[in-house]
Structure 1
Amino acid sequence: MAYSIRPYRDADAETLARILEEAIRAIGPHAYSPDQVAAWAARHPGAERYRERIRRGDAIFVAADQDDNPVAYVLFEADGHIDHLYAHPDHTRRGLPTQLLAMIEMHARDHGITRLYTEASDLARPAFERAGYAVTHKREFAIAHEDRDVPIHNWAMEKPL
């Protein structure tokens, strides 16, 4: 299957929200407990969030299939922070994170950004490592969910440009 990388369009918002939800719920259990997956998924409310992020000045790049339907995306903040990198479960293991991270790197260089950084899940960490990011430390924290704190972790990673 051929994919293309393109900028976000407003009509993508609902699809991106579904990609995030399905990726967390289908792929998350490979590294996280059911409680952790539920808490992680609950942190990401709907499509309007993408529109808000664009209004704030964040950039979103989308990997689209041959019919121009989004199947993966990356959300990038102006300070060099990569906030989201998600692929629909039907489109994993196809190099899409690598292509999206390359696009972000090009975008960052064009905007004078000299450092990229993220907090990667256990599942995303290998894609970031393949793209040249290094772990700076493990982040242990809790997500408030259903009247309790659910412990979880991710990896602070960065890449100088």
Structure 2
Amino acid sequence: MKYRIRAYADSDVETLHELTLAAITTIGLAGYSRAQVNAWAGRHDSAERLRERVRSGHMVFVAVDTDDKAAAYALLEPDGHLDMLYCHPDHTRQGLADGLLRAAEDQALICGLAKLYTEASALARPSFERAGYVVTKRRDFTIDHDGQSVPIHNYAMEKSLP
């Protein structure tokens, strides 16, 4: 299947929210426990949060299929923080993460940023490493979910830009 990357449109918000939850609850189980996945997904409780972030200046790059349906996306904050990189389970292993990371980097260069940084899941870490990011530390923390404090981890990573 062919894909292209385009800018976010307001009509994408519900699809991207569903895509996020599908990615976390399906792909997430390859690297995290069910309790961790549920807690992680619980942090993405509404599509409106994404819409608000776009309104506040965050840039979203969307990989779409030939029918213009979102298959993956990345969210870049104005300071160079790449906060989201999610791919729908039906579209993994197609190079979408690599393309989205290139699009975010291109935009960061246009904006004159000196570096990009993220907190990557264990599952996304290889995509970031392929794009030239380096791990600065493993982050162990907890997420409060359903009355419990669920331990989870990710990786602080960064990439210096030319």
Task: Calculate the TM-score normalised by the size of structure 2.
Answer: 0.99
Tell me what 2:94 maps to.
94
State yes or no: 1:66 paired with 2:55: no
Offset, 1:80: 0.3
Distance 2:19 2:114 in 1: 29
Offset, 1:158: 0.2
State yes or no: 1:46 paired with 2:15: no
Offset, 1:89: 0.0
Distance 2:46 2:71 in 1: 16
Tell me what 1:156 maps to.
156
- Counterpart of 1:154, as a letter, is N
Offset, 1:49: 1.2
Distance 1:51 1:26 in 2: 24
Offset, 1:32: 0.3
Tell me what 2:120 maps to.
120
Offset, 1:106: 0.3
| 1:24 counterpart SS class | helix
Offset, 1:97: 0.2
Structure 1: where are the runs of 5+ without partners? none
1:100-139 CA-to-partner distances (Å, cap 9, x unmatched) read 0000000000001110000000000000000000000000
> Deviating runs (4+, > 3 A) in structure 1?
none
Tell me what 1:139 maps to.
139
Offset, 1:45: 1.7
Tell me what 1:5 maps to.
5
Distance 1:35 1:67 in 2: 35
Structure 2: where are the runs of 5+ without partners? none
- Counterpart of 1:151, as a letter, is P
1:42-74 CA-to-partner distances (Å, cap 9, x unmatched) read 001221111101111000000000010111000
State yes or no: 1:76 paired with 2:76: yes
Offset, 1:24: 0.4
Distance 1:160 1:101 in 2: 13
**Residue identity (%):** 57
Distance 2:38 2:50 in 1: 21
Alignment: residue pair count: 161
Distance 1:45 1:158 in 2: 27
Task: Calculate the TM-score normalised by the size of structure 1.
Answer: 0.99
Tell me what 1:106 maps to.
106
Distance 1:46 1:4 in 2: 26
Tell me what 2:22 maps to.
22
Q: CA RMSD in A?
A: 0.5
